[in-house]
Chain A
Amino acid sequence: MRINKTILTIGLPALLMFALLAFFRQSGNAVEAPKAPPAPVAVDSTKCIAQTEYMRANHMKVLYEWRNSSVREGNRVFIAQNGSRFQKSLKTCLGCHATNRLFCFNCHMYANVRPKCWNCHLSPMETP
Chain B
Amino acid sequence: MKKVLMPLAMVATLALVAYVGVEFLKLQFIFGVVIPYTAAVLFVAGFLFRIADWLIRPVPFRIPTTAGQEKSLDWIRRNPIESPHRAWEAAARVLSEVLLFRSLFRNIRAELRKDASLAYASNKWLWLGGLAFHWSLLVIVLRHARFFFAMVPGFADFLDHADSFFDVTLPAFYISDAIALGAITFLVARRFFDAKVRMISLPTDYFPLFLIGGIVLIGVLMRYVVRLNVMPVKDLMLQLMNFGFDPPGEIGTLFYVHLFLISVLLAYFPLSKLMHMGGIFLSPTRNLCNNSREKRHVNPWNSDIKFRTYSEYEDDFREKMKKAGLPVEKQ
Contacts and interface: CB of A to CB of B under 8 A. Distances in A.
Contact of A116 (B167, B173, B250): B167
B185 to A, nearest CB: 9
B227 A111 contact: no
Contacts, number: 39
A112 B229 contact: no
Contacts of A111: 230-231, 233-234
A116 B172 contact: yes
B167 A60 contact: no
Given A16-B182, A20-B178, A57-B250, A115 B231 contact: no
A45 B51 CA distance: 62
B182 A64 contact: no
Contacts of B50: none
B231 A24 contact: no
Interface of A: 16, 20, 23-24, 26, 56-58, 60-61, 64, 67, 107, 110-113, 115-116
Interface residues of B, number: 22
Contact of B146 (A56, A60, A112): A112
B169 interface: yes
A64 B170 contact: yes
Interface in B231-255: 231, 233-234, 250
A12 to B, nearest CB: 9
A24 B168 contact: yes
Interface of B: 146-147, 150, 152, 157, 160, 167-173, 178, 182, 227, 229-231, 233-234, 250
Closest 9 CB pairs of A and B: A57-B229, A112-B146, A111-B230, A111-B234, A112-B152, A24-B168, A61-B227, A111-B231, A60-B227
Contacts of A113: 171, 230
Contact of B234 (A20, A58, A64, A110): A110
A88 to B, nearest CB: 16
Given A20-B178, A57-B229, A110-B234, A115 B171 contact: yes
A26 B230 CA distance: 24
Contacts of B230: 111, 113
B229 A58 contact: yes
